[in-house]
Homo-oligomer: A and B are copies of this chain.
């Protein structure tokens, strides 16, 4: 090992502030581990943080991106959960271990990697050992790097909270990272899956992944299409990824006593919808804040016992971060990965 490593960092907000630099490799302190990063994965939120800061108290300088997988390289004193050579992934909200989240009504918890906590776009990261989860045996590190936000968000919505069962109908909106994980996780539990997209080509690729039905929302009213496909029963679980006023459509499309997991904000930070079907059908609408570490560990176990392979649209070398971000802005089919090896 040399004593130097690469990392992307920014001293101020704005994509033009990103710079690739070479710095010393950090040492782990008490309770910390150092991880050689094999791969990082991008989320739409990374774009928002890089470009706007999202009002977060970012470290200075700030290393962007929250999701990584790699190999434990060195451990500090008092470390008991991992040893050098272990394959690990980061967790997005590392203080959230189990059922009860932190924070309060006025100030909800939002201390995340690549946010109020430092990010991972570096050859090495040093964090407390409790911030990591063992990687699935059945995935390589590039695949594993896609799980901490996109994978866990879909798992937490459908399984931890939604208790999905075979025979239920799940609607996923679009073909981004969360949507495709939702599709795959739902199929692994025997559900019927409907995907919406504005692209027939993406719908075909989604069907190749197991989707039972595709709706091109450019061509038809997707709520009516849900009624048609389900014989008016509606979708038992909707991953509301579009956001904003689209929630109103989801309230029309959801089954009686169904569930809408609110995940995305692509079309706005203000939700809206009709009260009448909300009252009469009594669905649960729940915002999703990724998920806790214990559910992540369940998810890893599930990946190893099913055939689920994350969908990586494209892999970029570390130097090509800007190309990767441009791909992210255009919209990926599944996940975009940054290779660091």
Contacts and interface: CB of A to CB of B under 8 A. Distances in A.
Interface string A278-310: 111111111111000010001111111110000
A231 B268 CA distance: 30
Nearest to A136: B167
A287 B298 contact: no
Interface in A176-231: 185, 188-192, 212, 226-227, 230-231
B305 A190 contact: yes
A166 interface: yes
Contacts of A252: 105
A234 B279 contact: no
Contacts of A272: 270-273
A231 B189 CA distance: 24
A21 interface: no
Main secondary structure of the interface of A (DSSP, over half): mixed
Interface string A106-138: 111110000000000000000000000000000
Nearest to A289: B282
A244 interface: yes
Contact of A282 (B101, B276, B282, B304): B101
A188 B255 CA distance: 23
- Bin the interface of chain A by size: 35 or more
Interface stretch (A11-19, A66-74, A92-100): A92-100
Given A165-B302, A167-B301, A254-B105, A243 B280 contact: no
A221 to B, nearest CB: 12
Contacts of A271: 272-275, 278
A239 interface: no
A89 interface: no
Interface in A219-278: 226-227, 230-235, 243-244, 252-258, 262-263, 265, 268-278
Nearest to A106: B232
Given A105-B230, A106-B234, A270-B274, 9 more contacts: A97-B97, A105-B232, A165-B189, A166-B185, A167-B302, A168-B301, A262-B275, A269-B274, A281-B289
